[in-house]
Structure 1
Amino acid sequence: MNRNPPNPESQACFGDLARAGRTDAWTYGLAFVVILGGWIVLEFATILGLAALYKDWSWSISSAWSAFLLAIDGQARDTIYTLVVLASVAVMLPPLFVAVRFIHRRPWRSLLTGRRRFDWTLMLYSLGLGLILNGALFFAMAGTGGAEIVFDWDPAVWLLALVLLPLPLLAQVTAEETLFRGYIYQWVGLFTANTWVRILIPAGLFAVMHLPNPELQSGGYWALADYLLFSLYAGFLVYRTNGLEAAIGMHAAINLLVSLIITYPDSVLPGAAPWALEEIAWDWMALLSLIAVVLHYVLLLRLCPVAPPPSSKQRKPTVPLPVKRNADSLIETLALKDKRVLDVGCGGGHIARLMAGQGAHVIGLDPNPVQLRIAEAETPVADETYQAAGGEALPFDDESMELVVLFNSLHHLPPETMAPALREAARVLVPGGHLYISEPVAEGPFFTLMQPIDDETEVRALALAAIDNAEDHGLREITRAVHLHPMRYPDYETFAQRIGNIDPTRRAKFAALDARMRAAFEELGETRDDGVWFHQPTRTHLLGKGVRGLEHIRSTSNR
């Protein structure tokens, strides 16, 4: 397949996407209650409902359909049982969706993939390879394990299973993957960046949840080893492919195989498979499964190339980045003359005055009255005004602005208001309008220098994750660039004074850490004749509002 892997710069790190929403302890406590409680209630209702439906089918369906079902009733029991098992797990999806969207306040897609869109191609390739390799594994069991394969195909029962099982099976697989290798995997990521810890904890929980399965009861430790092997491999696929697509495909392949193609004794999904192993040697199964996952991984990445997952190391530039001031980047990117512009988080008004000087009609917004007084105290350059307001609730009509600017301000918003701020920006933009965002990246010498005073690692990551999900609000990315913003300080005292003036609470930290900060300033800065220089990596994004405009914004805000 001639497929170019996506650039990791265009992706958010899947394991870090819990930070795209609320991560307070109470949100996880409430979410686990909603997920577990909702699942138990819906599972109970599903099992009772399907049991009643199965018992009374002949009373509720047309006589012809009833006669057909009654004729195959004995043979179809395994299919109906499998349907009940699949449905009882699939009903986990609604409470999980409620928890992610309404408790954590983050996009559902963030639980599925680190990409801008779910990669169906990757999922289908993983599914196809999984069917072929695991099918070969089962047939190999006949030779290595000494078990015979029996062929017993009832076309009517098999066609019924083919109609009834695939969609519930895909929902069941998606429910398990989104819970274990989505929600729990990302939750663990809040506490550690260690990849193996992120993989091992969900894998162990996945195996524990499946302990009641009949194959684990009969197969003992080797059957448990086989389950753990799959779970570890699925977790590694999530890490390596930066999403659930490949894991869902592999998981679905195994379940489709055992329910519709070849089964074995004590399978939890007996389905209507025409082939059946008379017995299964779980020690051989574990060994052959290991071979299958190795082949699956090698062939999947060869047939469907996937970029390495984003990480801080990969985000470091491999070629020199351009050095330019943040303000110069804005002027180079935007056509400002005669535009109606909203500067959200304007601070002291420096950027608002800069844009007004370029002919824009600018309104600067900031919730901080001290910053507004500073801005209003300056002599206006041209058409510029200032108002007190926050980005999450803009006091302007729909489709009233041609340009919205978030200049180093998004990461200063409370995390739960970052997505609403982008949605508000989209709301006030006219169709075809633009949102310009400039955000510092959490790396570089200046960032390292500032960490003891104000560590913004998490909030900067949250801001960039929110931008990566801007498409949810009807905003499409037009350009993205990274540059180095230069900063010069004549000496350490000037640096400490400037940073302290931004936030008075920082002054006490500077005083307490004086010796440490002085040493770091000298070590991390580049000393020249005119002072000490730092260069801060900065990402800029130009987003456009599509022609669907307001209707799309309203629909997504109600998800």
Structure 2
Amino acid sequence: MYIEQAYSKKYDFIKYLPIPILFFLLILLNFVAILLLDIDTEALMKQQIEQSSENAVFLQSVAPLAFFLVMLLVWVKFVNKQSIKSLTTARKKVDWGRIFFSFGLWSLITVATTLLAYFSEPQNFEFNFQPVPFAILFVMAIVLIPMQTSFEEYLFRGYLMQGLGIATRSRLFPLVFTSLMFGLMHIANPEVGKMGYLLLLYYVGTGFFLGITTLMDDGMELSLGFHAANNLIGCLLVTQDYSALQTPSILKDISEPSAGYDILLPVVIIYPILLFIFAKKYKWTNWKEKLTGKIVLPKQDVTIDAIGHE
């Protein structure tokens, strides 16, 4: 099973703490600074873009998370002594077909819904296409966005899901915890500052969707594909003045943002439909056990306590 395979004699929960603590500490410091200094994140980003360019600000925003991905994978390999394959999937090898299926499906849905919004309310959009900046963005995005989204998936649906699952002997606790933390990770985003904290429910809901997908499928492949499509197609297709990733995209959304209960539409309708599609295609069964069952570890010649010390 996906969580159990991370356990070995060398398992020590303390080793799982440094990178998540460092990452969340940086997010917390950023959020506290915004509150204490009363920073207008939208105005700040606009100023940064005027001083450089959208692509330069995009690079500054995404590159650190790409670096965090490399750091996390190196840590897993040499400190946790765990293979990257076992962090990714319980299958004998990574199923790239699953990644591309999820990526393609969500890309299609994203393009379709964006075109529907554009043609139904064209006054809410501007044609923003600029060939040279877009070409530069495209090259950067296809390299950095999958690294950015993979870091978030490997941290939440991989590293923390497995580490907390083994430490607590539970599937439900890491599902709930990582989903909540995934939502809170976005608390300093300009979108949240513009639209309000209700938007965090969307991020938490997305965390639950990706966590359920990972546990039911015994691997991260579907989540990796979905998340990469969501951010990559999004940043290439449409941007807003208040978004965390402002880019020289094809379209620009100029409508006045509002965070009503309609933001939960993906969570309560679209995500369940995706789960149904995945479940049918990959023949998911035994939902209760996979989502809420106890973790049963293989017997070793050593024992570990509640937090994983030998």
Q: Same fold (TM over 0.5)?
A: yes
User: Is residue 2:96 matched to residue 1:120?
Assistant: yes
- Tell me the secondary structure at the aligned position of residue 272 of structure 1: coil
Matches within 5 A, 1:25-40: 28-33=13-18
The answer to whether residue 230 in structure 2 is matched with residue 287 in structure 1 is no
Deviation at 1:94, TM superposition (A): 2.8
SS of match in other structure, 1:160: helix
Change (3 A) 1:307 1:164: same
Deviation by residue 1:358-410 (Cα, 9 ceiling, x = unmatched): xxxxxxxxxxxxxxxxxxxxxxxxxxxxxxxxxxxxxxxxxxxxxxxxxxxxx
Which residue does 2:7 correspond to in 1?
19
CA distance in 2, matches of 1:264, 1:247: 25
Residue equivalent to 1:433 = none
Contact map agreement 1:142 1:277 (CA 8 A) in 2: no
**Contact 2:214–2:220 (CA<8 Å) still a contact in 1?**
yes
Q: Cα gap change, 1:151/1:295 in structure 2, threshold over 3 Å: closer, same or farther?
A: farther
Q: Given the superposition, is the C-alpha separation of residues 79 and 189 from structure 1 closer, same or farther in structure 2, using an over 3 Å criterion?
A: same
Q: 1:335-354 counterparts in 2 under 5 A?
A: none
2:110 touches 2:234 (CA, 8 Å); kept in 1?
Answer: no
Does 1:267 pair with 2:243?
yes
Q: Distance in 1 between matches of 2:114 and 2:128?
A: 16
Q: Secondary structure at the match of 1:239?
A: helix
Distance 1:236 1:459, change over 3 A: closer
1:305 — aligned with what?
282
Structure 1 residues 35 and 238, CA gap change in structure 2 (3 angstroms)? same
- Matches of 1:292 and 1:312, distance apart in 2: 24
CA contact (8 A) 2:216 2:287 kept: no
Residues 125 and 254 (structure 1 numbering): CA distance in 2 closer, same or farther, change over 3 Å?
Answer: same
User: 1:18: Cα distance to partner?
Assistant: 2.6
Q: Distance in 2 between matches of 1:141 and 1:163?
A: 27
Q: Distance in 1 between matches of 2:259 and 2:222?
A: 25
Residue 60 of structure 2 corresponds to residue 221 of structure 1 = no
The structure in which a higher percent of residues are helix is 2
Given candidates 139, 146, 157, the residue that maps to 2:133 is 157
Quick one: which amino acid aligns to residue 294 of structure 1? P
CA deviation map 1:462-513 (0-9, x unaligned): 9xxxxxxxxxxxxxxxxxxxxxxxxxxxxxxxxxxxxxxxxxxxxxxxxxxx
The alignment-based identity, stated in percent, is: 22
SS at match of 1:14: coil
Q: Is the 8 A contact 2:128 2:248 kept in 1?
A: no
The letter of the residue matching 2:102 is S
Q: In the alignment, which residue of structure 2 is the partner of 1:183?
A: 159
Rounded to whole Å, the distance in 2 between the matches of 1:228 and 1:137 is 22
Q: How does 1:96-245 map to 2 (within 5 A)?
A: 96-141=72-117, 148-245=124-221
2:286 and 2:55 map into 1 onto residues whose CA distance is 39
Matches of 1:139 and 1:289, distance apart in 2: 20
What is the CA–CA distance in structure 2 between the aligned matches of 1:310 and 1:290, rounded to whole Å? 18
Partner of residue 460, structure 1: 299
- Kept in 1: contact 2:184–2:204 (CA 8 A): no
What is the CA distance between 1:294 and its match in structure 2? 2.6
Q: Could you state the TM-score of these two structures normalised by the residue count of structure 1? A: 0.44
- Aligned CA distance change for structure 1 residues 122 and 156 (closer, same or farther; 3 Å): same
Corresponding residue for residue 228 of structure 2: 252
Distance 1:212 1:277 in 2: 21
Amino acid at match of 1:222: L
Q: Of the two, which has the highest radius of gyration?
A: 1
Return the structure number with greater strand share.
Answer: 1
Aligned-partner Cα distance in 2 for 1:461–1:146: 63
Change (3 A) 1:156 1:149: same
Kindly indicate whether the alpha-carbon contact (under 8 Å) linking 2:4 and 2:297 is maintained by their aligned counterparts in 1.
no
**2-structure distance, mates of 1:38, 1:288:** 27
Q: 1:80 to 1:292 in 2, by over 3 A?
A: farther
**CA distance in 2: counterparts of 1:115 and 1:222, whole angstroms:** 37
- In the alignment, the residues of structure 2 paired with residue 145 and residue 282 of structure 1 have an alpha-carbon distance, to the nearest angstrom, of 18
Residue 139 of structure 1: CA displacement?
Answer: 4.5
The offset of 1:461, in angstroms, is: 8.1
Aligned length: 273
What is the rounded CA distance, in whole Å, between the counterparts of 1:22 and 1:145 in structure 2?
A: 57
The corresponding residue for 2:41 is none
TM alignment of 1:334-373, pairs within 5 A: none
d(CA) in 2 for partners of 1:285, 1:142: 18
Q: Report the TM-score, using the length of structure 2 for normalisation.
A: 0.76
Which structure 2 segments of 5+ residues have no match?
Answer: 27-48, 291-295, 302-310
What are the superposed Cα offsets for residues 321-365 of structure 1, whole Å, 9 maximum, x if unpaired? Answer: xxxxxxxxxxxxxxxxxxxxxxxxxxxxxxxxxxxxxxxxxxxxx
Once residues 112 and 309 of structure 1 are traced to their aligned partners in structure 2, the CA distance between those partners, rounded to angstroms, is 21
Question: How far apart are 1:285 and its partner, in Å?
Answer: 3.0
The alpha-carbon deviation at position 282 of structure 1 amounts to: 3.1
RMSD of Structure 2 on Structure 1 (CA): 3.3
Task: Quote the offset at 1:75 in angstroms.
Answer: 11
The CA deviation at 1:36 is: 5.1
